[in-house]
Amino acid sequence: MAEEYVVMEPQNKYGTVRLNKSVFSSIALNAMQEEENIQLVEGTKPFRGGIATEIKDNQLTIRIPVKVHYKANVADTCTKLQNKIFESISYMTGFKPQAIEVEVVSFIF
């Protein structure tokens, strides 16, 4: 079953630190907004489009549907975005995502 938060290690005498999955979505969105050749796909239906964050067994998976500029190299642009999101989450939270899946849905003309 998917959880709503990640439990950070180590636990000390004061308790545990838990990060909600919305924290990771916000970090990913901030990292993505700095890229000029990519736009987030926002859906019109509930639960369609936008950044999907899933936490299962304390493992984080992020799915990001994007539009890529038609003149940009898709593979390089997506790899750069994955690395940027991974580094941002790792640096800001100390937690390493299990997977960051960038789904190219369409192109920006």
**How confident is residue 1, by pLDDT bands cut at 50, 70 and 90?**
very low
Q: Which residues pair with 68 in a beta bridge?
A: 38, 107
Domains, the chain? 5-108 (3.30.70.1350)
Q: What is the pLDDT of residues 60-84, one digit of tens each?
A: 899 999 999 999 999 999 999 999 9
Q: What is the pLDDT of residues 4-56, one digit of tens each?
A: 878 777 667 888 888 888 899 999 999 999 989 999 987 665 555 689 899 88
Render the burial of 36-70: b for 16+ CB within 10 Å, e for the rest: ebbbbbeeeeeeeeebbbebeeeebbbebbbbbbe
